[in-house]
Amino acid sequence: MPLIQRIRAEKPHIFSIMNEVASNFSANGIIAIGASPSISNTPKEAEESSRRARAVVLNLGTLTEDRAEAMLLAGKAANEAGTPVILDPIAMGATTFRTKVINDLLENVQFTAICGNAGEIAVLGEALERTTSPDAAIDTNDPAIAKKVAQKYNTIVVSTGETDVITDGSKVALCSNGHKMMANITASGCVFTAVLAAFIAVGGKHVYDASIEATASYAIAGEIAAGNSRGPGSFIPAFLDELYLLDAETYRTHEKVERIEA
């Protein structure tokens, strides 16, 4: 069964610790593809919520000390429960506080996947000193850097850019789907991380393949939505519509993924 159909059949619960800018859009994106969202940023709910979820998203936007504590608790609880944990290292390297929190998470939580733009992944891979904002992606999305990060943290890495890179540290897939309009709205990367979590939740042991399918599916929805909108304002509802309308046939017809074996 295609993963998008499995998401709609199983309705996996995705728990997120999420920034305020992205919360509404991300929840709507999760609902649109057929999964079930919950969002809470208090440490008092982190462990219990993580244990009940099918996947956990730790999103570093609008970071606070309480949110950092909640993420550490949620990540550890999810690891204990065998629940996939996905990290969105927003603006990695931008500030000392943010960098320390992300490094603490990476040292104490085993992540199933790390999803960030090429600049954020480059900082994690020590190929770039810092990013200045969540939107400060670099022009070059180097698969070698993504592979290095995947190997270092024993995880799947999805590095987004004009061409998205998905790697398990050995195999690499390049996805050329997508549209520039997706960079003209806020939180598109945050929504993608949440959608990625839903695909991983139903993908079982096939996290790499699920990550490829999630990346291409999300980008395909953006392509189609861009063709049905006049600008950023009309793109957002069109994009949610296309996430809702995603099916296996649309994926097969539109996907542009090149798989490179090790």
Spatial strand order of the sheet with 113-117 comes to 36-39, 13-17, 55-59, 85-88, 113-117, 156-160, 164-167, 172-175, 257-260
Q: What token pair was written down for 101?
A: 């929190």
In the chain, domain spans = 3-260
3-260: CATH topology = UDP-N-acetylmuramoyl-L-alanine:D-glutamate ligase (3.40.1190)
Rounded to the nearest 5°, which phi and psi values hold at 114? -120, 125
For residue 7, what are the CA distances in angstroms to 31, 35, 54, 168, 251? Answer: 10, 6, 11, 23, 15
Strands (DSSP E) found in 204-261: 257-260
What does DSSP assign to residue 94?
S
* 208: helix, strand or coil: helix
Q: Tell me the one-letter amino acid at 125.
A: G
Give yes or no for a contact between 125 and 146, defined as CB atoms under 8 angstroms apart.
yes
Q: What are 13's two structure tokens?
A: 């619960």
Closest CA to 116 of 94, 144, 146: 146
pLDDT by 10s per residue, the chain, length 262: 789 999 999 999 999 999 999 999 999 999 999 999 999 999 999 999 999 999 999 999 999 999 999 999 999 999 999 999 999 999 998 999 999 999 999 999 999 999 999 999 999 998 876 565 555 555 678 999 999 999 999 999 999 999 999 999 999 999 999 999 999 999 999 999 999 999 999 999 999 999 999 999 999 999 999 999 999 999 999 999 999 999 999 999 999 999 997 6
How confident is the model at residue 132, as a pLDDT? 55
Give yes or no for a contact between 25 and 187, defined as CB atoms under 8 angstroms apart. Answer: yes
Q: Whole-structure pTM over 0.85, yes or no? A: yes
